[in-house]
Structure 1
Amino acid sequence: MRKNLLMIIAALSLATVAFATESQIWGEMRIQNILEYGKEGSTHLGPLFTLLQNKYFAWIFLGVLIGVPLAFYIHYLIIGPKVFPHSAKKYYAFNLYNRIIHQVAAISFLVIIPTGFIIVFGDFFGGGTFVRMAKNLHGIFTIPFTIVVIPMALMWLKEALFNMDDVKWFMILGGYLSKEKKPILAGKFNAGQKMWYWVAILGGITMILSGAFMFFLDFKMQMLHDLTGLSQIDMLRAAAIIHNVMGFAIVAMFITHVYMSMFAIKGAVHSIITGYVEEEEVKILHSTWYKKLRDQGKF
């Protein structure tokens, strides 16, 4: 199954490169078409886009890139990680399908996010080949994420629905501000994981659509033009604004997800690699789910 999935992703990647090579959106007609943008039907998003692009977007991304890890570094120094033995009884919680889908999405994000920062700070890196390579990788690794985003949404939708346990979790921030190991009300996914699920799925789909619109910037969709009344150039500007704003949330939540799974909870990342979760970790961090599993004789 994994081999077939990788073959599909590789085939789609090659098809995308071939399409881009042959299409006029990457050829000589591109410049000619761009010169016509904004001459008719423009709602003049240009000044707003220019203001945001030149004065705010890069600084906000820099703030997220520095501020979020710094906050977690301080948390690690003051509170420290929660450590569980990982030698006690385990439960097989994530099957092979779950793990492959998650790993494809994870690898995609690990390329998309750094290359996205290189694109944002292209001037700092001096532009040229390095930034163009980052732009191409950014687009190519969007393909595997596009393939798995809907399967990932469907396979974890039920566990990602919010309930009253999540309200109580938010009130104490999941117990992460305390060194004590007290049982926390949470199902298979806690409120933080659910929040990341919705940002990754809805935000990811938004990023795919807005990014594709910018990537294939001369690909006109008449239905959208008729529906919104926006000119092609203003649709591109709107897509860029949406892409950047959504990017703030996704980057912040992705860093949070990485910190929680690799540092704040020692060994937690192994569950999505091996499929097994450790009993004490589930008992403390997902007590509602633990009670359900215990009643079923799983623990």
Structure 2
Amino acid sequence: MRSVLKFFRIFIFIALASSFAFAADPSVPQEGGKQYAEVVGGNNALFSKDDLANPYLYGGPEVEAIKGWGIGSPNAIGLGEIFTLLQGHYFATVFALLIVCVPLAFLGHFVMIGQRKFSHGKKIRVFSGYNIFVHWATAIPFVLICLTGLVMVFGDKLGGGAFVRLARDVHGIATILFVIFGVLMFLMWVKDALPKAYDIQWLMIMGGYLSKENKPIPAGKFNAGQKMWFWVCTLGGFVMAISGAYMFFQFADIDTLRLMALVHNGLGFLVIALLITHIYMAVFAIEGALHSIIDGKMGEEEIAILHSYYYKELTSA
């Protein structure tokens, strides 16, 4: 308990310190009407002298230069043009469409197809206590990362300020926890998540989720959809952690930082869409599915239908 309280105090201190350290608002004109970038040095010391001397990247002229950019324009410098275009006009829009359209699609599925129901008489232990602990120790920080990431994406719409800065700090702390437990989860389930030939059959019938009929589905301990989520969550999550570290600490040249931002957002689209899918499948699509990763047990009928190859392994053992 003492260690938890100590961590909480440290967290509050970091959050408060960050709110003072980043109190300036870039959207407010500075003294003499200058742009924020003209009066705040920031991390300029981390960049090369050549970059600092580039009028299209630093100082006042870059504001007007960016306004005149177009695809293939003579003012394009490195990835600056495509980054500015995507960051300024498309990234937030795509995230908004995902968090609205994906849940609406699943709402349609729930209304038309409905929840899969199975007998919960005899149960079989599928996950150990260690599996359950590592899963939730990875999942909770991961969800926090996604939520705080969206807060930052829509920071200007939320008014900026202390709330968005706090989200940024929580984002960084949660990332550290995710990487630690994410490695453990990767090692724990990587063998079960390796692709099998019958995964192609699962994909061809969309796991049977477009039908109300309960008949055996070709899947092992994890079906093809769960395997896809595993690889995006772990390997994709690690790539996002690396690209996020580059952006947070800015220990690279400006063009590399732009590339990291493009990669980070691109993977972010996939992560958000699949996270919503994972939550829908676990909470709504299958009755009682969430309990399997709480108490470690699944109904025998559910395993026999939705994980038929895994059920054959269990019954033949």
User: Smaller-chain TM-score range?
Assistant: 0.7 to 0.9
1:29 and 1:263 mapped to 2: Cα distance? 50
Instruction: Report the alpha carbon displacement of residue 39 of structure 1 after superposing the two structures with TM.
Output: 3.4
Contact residue 44 and residue 52 of structure 2 kept, 8 A:
no
Alignment of 1:200-279 (within 5 A): 200-217=233-250, 219-220=251-252, 232-279=253-300
Aligned to 1:105: 138
Give, in angstroms, the shift of residue 90 of structure 1. Answer: 1.3
Asked if the contact 1:72–1:259 (Cα under 8 Å) also holds between the matched residues in 2, the reply is yes
Moved more, 169-178 or 158-167: 158-167
Q: Out of 45, 57, 64, which is 1:33 matched to?
A: 45
Q: CA deviation at 1:40?
A: 6.8
Query: For residue 229 of structure 1, what is the aligned residue in structure 2?
Result: none
Higher helix share: 1
Question: 8 Å contact 1:38–1:234 — kept in the other structure?
Answer: no
Q: Distance in 2 between matches of 1:165 and 1:45?
A: 42
Give, as a single letter, the amino acid of the residue that structure 2 aligns with 1:76. Answer: F
Secondary structure of the structure 2 residue equivalent to 1:185: coil
Asked whether the 8 Å contact 1:37–1:233 carries over to 2, the reply is: no
Quick one: which amino acid aligns to residue 206 of structure 1? V
Q: Structure 1: which 5+ residue stretches go unaligned?
A: 221-231
| Aligned pairs for 1:1-299 within 5 A | 30-33=42-45, 38-39=51-52, 44-86=78-120, 88-217=121-250, 219-220=251-252, 232-296=253-317
Larger radius of gyration: 2
C-alpha offsets along residues 58-86 of structure 1, whole Å, 9 cap, x if unaligned?
11111111111110000000000101232
Distance 1:155 1:196 in 2: 15
SS at match of 2:42: helix
Aligned length: 271
Q: Distance in 2 between matches of 1:110 and 1:161?
A: 24
Structure 1 runs, 4 residues or longer, greater than 6 Å off = none
Cα distance, 1:29 vs structure 2: 6.8
Structure 1 residue identity aligned to 2:42 = R
Q: Bigger relative contact order, structure 1 or 2, given CA contacts below 8 A and separation 6+?
A: 1
TM-score (normalised: structure 1): 0.83
SS, match of residue 127 in structure 2: coil
Q: 1:168 touches 1:185 (CA, 8 Å); kept in 2?
A: yes
Contact 2:193 2:227 in 1 (8 A): yes
Output the CA distance in 1 between the equivalents of 2:212 and 2:104.
19
Q: What is the TM-score when the length of structure 2 is the normalising length? A: 0.79
Flag structure 2 segments of 5+ consecutive residues without an equivalent: 22-39, 58-76
**Superposed CA RMSD:** 2.7
> Which one-letter code corresponds to 1:106 in the other structure?
A
Distance 1:79 1:69 in 2: 15
> What percent of counterpart residues are identical?
49
